[in-house]
Amino acid sequence: MALQLLLAQLLIEKGKPAEALEVYDAFFDAHPDYPDLIRFYREALPLARQLRDERRVAAYLGSVEKLAPAPAPATTNQTPVGKR
């Protein structure tokens, strides 16, 4: 699996984003429960945008949204009524 990620990086460095995306997709399919998978979707997303691959852009965005941690609840500094 680390070899796949290294290959994707090498393909990016060689100016072959389409081939890199193929490697990323194979990685995503083979390792859907890989820790920190969101990192690799975020790496692949700009490549998909560069290639104007709307299908992959939508898929990667959906995966990033699904894997992203939920935002912390908003807090306010307001004093509760009757506590002034």
The 10s digit of each residue's pLDDT in 35-59 is 999 999 999 999 999 999 999 999 9
The 10s digit of each residue's pLDDT in 7-18 is 999 999 999 999
Give the domains, in start order, of the chain with CATH numbers: 2-67 (1.25.40)
Confidence (pTM): 0.80
Check if the beta carbon of residue 49 is closer than 8 Å to that of residue 60.
Answer: no
Q: What is the Cα–Cα distance from 44 to 84, expressed in whole angstroms?
A: 52
Check if the beta carbon of residue 17 is closer than 8 Å to that of residue 50.
Answer: yes
What single string gives the DSSP state of each residue in the chain? -HHHHHHHHHHHHTT-HHHHHHHHHHHHHH-TT-TTHHHHHHHHHHHHHHTT-HHHHHHHHHHHHHHSPPPPPP---PPPTT--
